Structure 1
Amino acid sequence: MHNIFPFTAWIRKYRWSFLPKDLLAGLTVAIVLIPQGLAYALIAGLPAVYGLYASMVPLLIYTFFGTSRSLGIGPVAMDSLLVAAGLGAIASVGPENYIAMAILLAFMVGAFQFLLGLLRMGFLVNFLSKPVISGFTSGAALIIMFSQLKYLLGTDIEGSNQLHAIIWNAFGKMADLNPFDFGIGLIGILLIIVFKKWNQKLPYILMVVILGILAVYLFQWVDKGVDIVGEIPKGLPEVVLPSVSLNSIMELWPIALTLSLIGYLETISIAKGIEDKMNGDQLDANKELVALGLSNMTGSLFQSYPVAASFSRSAIYYEAKSKTNLATLFTALFVLLTLLYLTPLLYYLPKAALAAIIMVSVYNLIDFKYARELWKYRKDEFFVLLATFAITIFIGIMEGIIVGVVISLLLMVYRTSNPHFAVLANIKGTPYYRNIRRFESDALVRNDLLIVRFDAQMYFGNSGFFKSRLLNLIDQKGPELKAVILNAEAINYIDSSAAHMLRNLIEAMYERGIHFFIAGAIGPTRDILFSSGLMELLPKECLFVETREAVSFFDDPGKKSELQDKVALQRNSLGNKGYSS
């Protein structure tokens, strides 16, 4: 039962003493989630009430299927922007069916996540490297911030997914600026910053919401043109099946797949970060994928758009010391009460106040520190981050992450095809053999012996590199060279192409009168040496446990003991059923 319904693990151990903390945590998160949900729905291009719809049923489902007690599921800024960017790029999505497509998108995102979870494919997010995610989120954060200028300035600014276009459109509308909207937004930003620095435990988002509503209502700023949320439909959302058509599915599936992976990556990274700080949580990545998928699919039946985990709300659950997933259920119930009874109180909520909340919240997504670290220590990965960031803000959201992943994969391929290749020598006065470039004056280099180390698996992508480097070093040694020793400690795999290359290379060395020895090969590598037929070409005396043993044998062939021979030649006798160590 626990594998299918994770809630059975904690509900059996639940104690009444847990209830106050779960209730307090649920209420605290709801206070933040309700205004955030309204604001993020606007980012997605949806009416504000859809942010509340996305803050209810998905949380209820996650309560029973999630494996983290402190994960704040619901609408988030990043996914909201991706919804707007993805749907905005589809020509057939007009205003009349925009909401229907957003709801269908939630179902498709959930279906992808659910299927990937069942197939245990959570590892796919590993292809989204941290530089790509950092560049993408920083660029998206800037677009989110500047997309709120139309609410902050109180004027109708044409939207765009390109930063320069947003800024250009905003400059063109500066003459139409509403000073009341601008004042509300600016004061809201300042108040949030001040309240956060003064006391982070204060419900500063709720305070800005209340102050904004009171100011608009008491001073009748609606008459001054202040843009407000207005009437929010009271009551529960209707249960409606998403409108599905083959044409819609074909248009939405690339966006849905991207959102499913991004949403899962956000969720699992936040959950793992919290798990490291908490005792008792046993996060299951694939179960989280299933839980997120079920939350999105079920939520879509209740008019929710795609959801994921929020860092800020997850941090609140953690700080409030929620004991179980019941805290998430309480948050959903508080949102339910708001939809049933409290929506009239939000009528005068100025959109400029929501813009202030969004702008301050997403600013934390811009990771300056990580970019500086990459520039200082890893300039190749800094280029990946910078390229992803630039493409995201100047070309488009979807293009940014796709190109970032491609560049990241190309960098990985380049690294594996040009791995570290070291020439070793004995360090004076020690039994150690190390890179001669690191120990120049202390390395005892011999003209009759070439010792090399290859720090990667051997496969078709780098076999040519290995062959050319080794032949070049052999030529540099000249006719005095009598033997080559390959330190294979770092080689954990040899594919058929590399094995074929090694066979040809060894034959070429034998023709030149050069012996070839292998030292330090681990069990799986030894298995491949035997299964690929290479050991039919090499004498059994060529395998050694350590480099120094190979050198001793080269100097005195009688020194290799039977025990050394047995250990060096030990291999897996079960074929492909397992690996020897």
Structure 2
Amino acid sequence: MREIFLPFLTWFGLINKDTLKADFFAGLTGAVIVLPQGVAFAAIAGLPPEYGLYTAMITPIIAGLFGSSLHLISGPTTAISLVVFSAISRYAEPGSAQFVQMVLTLTFLAGIYQLVLGLVKMGKVVNFVSHTVVIGFTAGAAILIATSQMKHVLGIKIPQGESFVHTWMDVFMGIPSINLSILGVAIFTMLSALVMKRYLPKMPHLLFGMVMGSLASMVLGGEANGIKYVGEIPGHLPPLSLPEFSFAAIKQLASGAFAVALLGLIEAVSIARSIATKSHQRLDGNQEFIGQGLSNIVGSFFSSYAGSGSFTRSGINYSSGAKTPMSAIFAAIFLALIVLLVAPLAAYLPVAAMGGIILLVAYNLIDFHHIKHILESSRSETSILATTFFATLFLELEFAIYIGVILSLVIFLMRTSLPNIADLAPDPNEPRHKLAEVAEVGLPECPQLKIIRIDMSIYFGSLDKVQRELACIAEKQGIKHVLIVGEGINFIDLAGAEMLIQEAKSLKAIGGGLYIQGVKNKVFDFMDRIDFLADFGEGNIFSSKEAALHSLSLRMNPDICATCTKRIFRECAKLPGA
């Protein structure tokens, strides 16, 4: 219980003078980076800009204290922001008090989902969701984000709530009315940020782009030429807030909150694991679920909206030399100090400059390298990628997440439902006549005993494949005795056990038998618990290949053995005519 609710006690012991120094500077770097990102992400979510900064102050502290990763930095993210906007914008006007209230409720519900999943030990569920789902969804989300900014970077009037297709139709129809001053500010902002990133990659290029965009807007005449500004951001710490707990609100937002929770968990755990492979840290997926859940629950009471792990900030945090989650706490503290000092300057930040920054963020979301690799290497993963990508563009975002997750699970089940079944025979070139694959080495087989190895598991999904293989051996090959080498069987469920008993009885009825050798301890323990051995026959279960072949050689038809020319087993040397 202490490890679950007080996990920070395990890394408090790592803190010393050196780690505090490293975490201090890593936190300072993270605070500067998240300042423009927080404002941009809030805009994507349809919230006033300060809410992105509030989220970047509260979420990383709670997630750092109650998660398991030493380097993961949580806070507002692009994908989560877009899902939040999609889930709430159908019910309330973005930026309104009602919209903010519903976002806080959505955040609270998402946190509850995540906390419950962590407490019931569902952390490994993320392993069954293909990372391709995240890549496809993020690529689609990036295009949607870029689409949503067209009105801000072009100065074209586009009605609120337009679909992806209709928005681009409006863009093409509005080309003659593009405001060149607004477009100029957006382009200059992007170019400034790109040049800074190219020549000074360690500097906060997005922040630099915003500053240059503000200067460009002044040169181009500002509001006199139609350039709008973000407006002054309140320069204070996150105020207390209260989500709505009415039954109507919870019912209305439950589905969207689950989509936010699921995407947030996939993002956070995936990012934490990618960094853990470099830092050689062992993660606890369940604890990450708990940390993310508590961060959203607590955040909803401090004017924060749903957050998750940030790949950019987490990667920079690790590369900056962070040693413990104290870096996340330092980053939040520094961000609060920066906000208190520079928040009024947002009054000079053009909406077009913000749009340009968001376009850069959207472009960087698309993982071109992995998309190319998926398209070239795997049809099944390509289908997941394409389905999730197009569902993100043309369907409700939460529905797109569900489709991608369900499709990845279906493909996983399809793969496990087709276990590899290999024919085995003794290899005479091996000192102990080790069993080898017949097709691979080209070995002769016994006409009376078929030896097969089943890789993966025997469960309800793979029964059809295993049954068809056993039926083919008995009916088409005319072999009545079948030995299953069980070293590759990970588990057997109740349906699988019942199937094996049924096949054993069928083979026994025609004068043969089904036998198993070398199952793993956990598989044998399961068999023992369900009284499998009594129905299957204890004499048909063997611990070693030698014991199995010695026993089964005595059950073969001696007349067939007398005329057999194969003689592949050592026991065959003792038979007449050998």
How high is the TM-score relative to the length of structure 2? 0.87
SS in 1 for 2:482: strand
Q: 1:168 to 1:497 in 2, by over 3 A?
A: same
Match runs of 1:137-536 below 5 Å: 137-159=138-160, 162-278=163-279, 283-430=283-430, 431-439=433-441, 442-478=442-478, 481-536=479-534
Q: How large is the RMSD of aligned CA atoms in angstroms? A: 2.8
Q: CA shift at 1:3, angstroms? A: 5.2
Kindly indicate whether the alpha-carbon contact (under 8 Å) linking 2:44 and 2:81 is maintained by their aligned counterparts in 1.
yes
Question: Which residue identity does 1:41 align to in structure 2?
Answer: A
| Partners of 2:402 and 2:496 in 1: CA distance | 31
Kindly indicate whether the alpha-carbon contact (under 8 Å) linking 1:231 and 1:344 is maintained by their aligned counterparts in 2.
yes
SS in 2 for 1:324: coil
Kindly indicate whether the alpha-carbon contact (under 8 Å) linking 1:189 and 1:360 is maintained by their aligned counterparts in 2.
yes
Q: 1:354 to 1:136 in 2, by over 3 A?
A: same
Question: Which residue identity does 1:512 align to in structure 2?
Answer: I
Q: 1:111 to 1:347 in 2, by over 3 A?
A: same
Kindly indicate whether the alpha-carbon contact (under 8 Å) linking 1:138 and 1:389 is maintained by their aligned counterparts in 2.
yes
Q: 1:538 to 1:12 in 2, by over 3 A?
A: closer
Q: Which moved more, 1:372-381 or 1:197-206?
A: 372-381
Question: Which residue identity does 2:434 align to in structure 1?
Answer: Y
| Partners of 1:287 and 1:540 in 2: CA distance | 43
Q: CA shift at 1:208, angstroms? A: 0.8
Q: CA shift at 1:485, angstroms? A: 1.7
The corresponding residue for 2:89 is 88
Q: CA shift at 1:493, angstroms? A: 3.0
Q: Is the aligned partner of 1:542 residue 2:546? A: no
The corresponding residue for 1:36 is 37
SS in 2 for 1:21: helix
| Partners of 2:512 and 2:162 in 1: CA distance | 63
SS in 2 for 1:226: coil
| Partners of 2:316 and 2:436 in 1: CA distance | 51
| Partners of 1:379 and 1:202 in 2: CA distance | 41
Paired residues, number: 553
Q: CA shift at 1:529, angstroms? A: 4.3
The sequence identity of aligned pairs, in percent, is 33
SS in 1 for 2:288: helix
CA-to-aligned-CA distance 1:147-192 (integer Å, 9 cap, x gap): 2222221223235585433322322222221112212222332333
The corresponding residue for 1:48 is 49
Question: Which residue identity does 1:85 align to in structure 2?
Answer: S
Q: Which runs of 5+ in 2 are unaligned?
A: 557-578
Q: 1:358 to 1:421 in 2, by over 3 A?
A: same
Q: 1:501 to 1:42 in 2, by over 3 A?
A: same
Question: Which residue identity does 1:490 align to in structure 2?
Answer: G
Q: Is the aligned partner of 1:71 residue 2:69? A: no
SS in 2 for 1:461: coil
Kindly indicate whether the alpha-carbon contact (under 8 Å) linking 2:151 and 2:158 is maintained by their aligned counterparts in 1.
yes
The corresponding residue for 2:565 is none
The corresponding residue for 2:118 is 117
SS in 1 for 2:436: strand
Q: CA shift at 1:100, angstroms? A: 0.9
Q: 1:235 to 1:486 in 2, by over 3 A?
A: closer
| Partners of 2:339 and 2:472 in 1: CA distance | 74
Q: CA shift at 1:108, angstroms? A: 1.7
Question: Which residue identity does 1:437 align to in structure 2?
Answer: A
Q: CA shift at 1:338, angstroms? A: 3.7
CA-to-aligned-CA distance 1:314-333 (integer Å, 9 cap, x gap): 12212221243333233222
Question: Which residue identity does 1:217 align to in structure 2?
Answer: M
CA-to-aligned-CA distance 1:384-428 (integer Å, 9 cap, x gap): 222111211122312211111222222233233332222233345
Question: Which residue identity does 1:435 align to in structure 2?
Answer: E
Q: 1:488 to 1:244 in 2, by over 3 A?
A: same
Q: CA shift at 1:534, angstroms? A: 4.7
How high is the TM-score relative to the length of structure 1? 0.87
CA-to-aligned-CA distance 1:475-534 (integer Å, 9 cap, x gap): 2223xx352222222223333333333223222222222243322222333344455455
Q: CA shift at 1:249, angstroms? A: 0.5
| Partners of 2:555 and 2:500 in 1: CA distance | 24
Q: 1:434 to 1:106 in 2, by over 3 A?
A: same
| Partners of 2:378 and 2:293 in 1: CA distance | 36
CA-to-aligned-CA distance 1:339-365 (integer Å, 9 cap, x gap): 433222121112222222222223233
| Partners of 1:170 and 1:298 in 2: CA distance | 40
Kindly indicate whether the alpha-carbon contact (under 8 Å) linking 2:14 and 2:324 is maintained by their aligned counterparts in 1.
no
Question: Which residue identity does 1:377 align to in structure 2?
Answer: S
| Partners of 1:289 and 1:327 in 2: CA distance | 20
Question: Which residue identity does 1:320 align to in structure 2?
Answer: S
Kindly indicate whether the alpha-carbon contact (under 8 Å) linking 2:129 and 2:405 is maintained by their aligned counterparts in 1.
yes
Question: Which residue identity does 2:77 align to in structure 1?
Answer: V
| Partners of 2:318 and 2:535 in 1: CA distance | 62
Q: Which runs of 5+ in 1 are unaligned?
A: 559-581
Question: Which residue identity does 2:440 align to in structure 1?
Answer: R
SS in 2 for 1:438: helix
Question: Which residue identity does 1:108 align to in structure 2?
Answer: L
Q: CA shift at 1:9, angstroms? A: 4.4
Q: 1:470 to 1:89 in 2, by over 3 A?
A: farther
| Partners of 1:121 and 1:89 in 2: CA distance | 31
| Partners of 2:396 and 2:537 in 1: CA distance | 59
